[in-house]
Amino acid sequence: MTIENVSVNKSFAGWQKQYSHFAKTVNCNMRFAIYLPPQASSGQKVPVLYWLSGLTCTDENFMQKSAAQRIAAELGMAIVAPDTSPRGEGVADDESYDLGQGAGFYVNANQSPWDRHYHMYDYVVHELPELIESMFPVSDKRAIAGHSMGGHGALTIGMLNPERYCSMSAFSPISNPMTCPWGQKAFTAYLGKDKATWRNHDASELMREAKQFVPAKVDQGAADNFLLEQLKPDALLAAANVSGYPLEYQLHDGYDHSYYFISSFIEQHLCFHATHLNG
- What is the H or E stretch that residue 81 is in? strand 78-82
- Residue 177 in contact with residue 201, Cβ under 8 Å? yes
Q: What is the pLDDT of residue 80?
A: 98
Q: What is the pLDDT of residue 279?
A: 81
What are the Cα distances from residue 79, in Å, to 33, 73, 88, 102?
Answer: 8, 10, 25, 20
- Residue 40 in contact with residue 46, Cβ under 8 Å? yes
Q: Is 194 helix (H, G, I), strand (E, B) or coil?
A: coil
Judge whether residue 1 has pLDDT over 80: no
CB neighbours of 78 closer than 8 A, spacing ≥ 6?
A: 34, 35, 36, 37, 40, 46, 47, 48, 49, 72, 132, 136, 138
Active-site amino acid positions = 148, 224, 257
113: left (phi over 0), alpha (psi -120 to 50) or beta: alpha
Q: What is the pLDDT of residue 32?
A: 98
Confidence of residue 180 (pLDDT cuts 50, 70, 90): very high
Mean pLDDT on 19-48: 96
- Residue 192 in contact with residue 201, Cβ under 8 Å? no
Tell me: the pLDDT tens digits for 235-272? Answer: 999 999 999 999 999 999 999 999 999 999 999 999 99
Q: What is the pLDDT of residue 9?
A: 98
Q: How far apart are the first and last CA of the chain?
A: 32
Report the domain count for the chain.
1
Q: Which amino acid makes up residue 269? A: H
Residue 143 belongs to domain spanning: 3-277
Mean pLDDT on 57-70: 97
Mean pLDDT on 165-182: 98
CA 14, 4, 125, 155 dihedral sign is positive
Confidence of residue 43 (pLDDT cuts 50, 70, 90): confident
Q: Which amino acid makes up residue 186? A: A
Provide the mean pLDDT of the chain.
Answer: 97
Q: What is the pLDDT of residue 61?
A: 97
Maximum Cα interatomic distance, the chain, rounded to a whole number of Å = 51
Judge whether residue 132 has pLDDT over 80: yes
CB neighbours of 269 closer than 8 A, spacing ≥ 6?
A: 145, 169, 171, 217, 219
Q: Model's pTM, two decimal places?
A: 0.97
Q: What is the CATH number of the domain that holds 163?
A: 3.40.50.1820
- Residue 234 in contact with residue 36, Cβ under 8 Å? no
Q: What is the pLDDT of residue 44?
A: 87
- What is the H or E stretch that residue 122 is in? helix 120-122
How many angstroms separate the CA atoms of 107 and 128, rounded? Answer: 15
